[in-house]
A and B are shown apart, each in its own frame.
Chain A
Amino acid sequence: AQKITQTQPGMFVQEKEAVTLDCTYDTSDPSYGLFWYKQPSSGEMIFLIYQGSYDQQNATEGRYSLNFQKARKSANLVISASQLGDSAMYFCAMREPPSNTGKLIFGQGTTLQVKP
């Protein structure tokens, strides 16, 4: 069965520094997609970044990058130059087969607090 694991319940980072949020996954499907979402205190889930299993390069979106290590089955999110507005809960997710349903399974999340 597919599974997403986020082992860090909470993280602290100093403003302007970089932080890495861990995510490991388990799947036997050769084709899969990995996602990161941000959930601020307002509750809305905001899509940050996507990595396909066949993508050769790590995905990047502005200050967000995904450190994709396929052999280790990890998809860590790296946030560079942290800002106070980055304080939120972050979820890693994986697309479940069959791909036409678009179903995602989510990890339990990591709460990030950025210190001024």
Chain B
Amino acid sequence: SQTIHQWPATLVQPVGSPLSLECTVEGTSNPNLYWYRQAAGRGLQLLFYSVGIGQISSEVPQNLSASRPQDRQFILSSKKLLLSDSGFYLCAWSVIRVNTQYFGPGTRLTVL
């Protein structure tokens, strides 16, 4: 069966510090991968998606970036965090023709 992992679960970082959130999927090949951000009590905002290794599409201009160095690994990064980057970050995967997205447990990021 497929599983998706995200780490860390929680993170507190100062403004201006770098960020690296990692997401890995097990039990499937060539998945589509997604990064979302959720503000408290709000809906999900799609940040990036990837349909293959090295293929990254950005949905919202910001100081975040994403990379997919391996088929089942998706990384969200920032060189310098802003206060507005605080939120709950969710990674998800899906496969073509099914399209149901399955989510990881999420990372709660607080920028101080």
State whether these chains interact: yes
A45 to B49, CA, bound (A): 17
- Please choose the segment from B13-21, B68-76, B77-85, B97-105 that sits at the chain A interface, where 4 or more of its residues have CB less than 8 A away: B97-105
Tell me how many residues of A have a C-beta within 8 Å of chain B.
Answer: 23
- Contact present for A101 and B88 (CB under 8 Å): no
Given contacts A43-B88, A44-B106, contact A91 B44 (CB under 8 A): yes
Q: Which of B48-95 contact A (CB under 8 A)?
A: 49, 51, 57, 88, 90, 92, 94-95
| CB nearest neighbor in A for B93 | A102
A12 close to chain B: CB less than 8 A = no
- Contact present for B51 and A100 (CB under 8 Å): yes
A109 to B57, CA, bound (A): 25
| 3 closest cross-chain pairs (CB), A and B | A45-B103, A102-B94, A102-B99
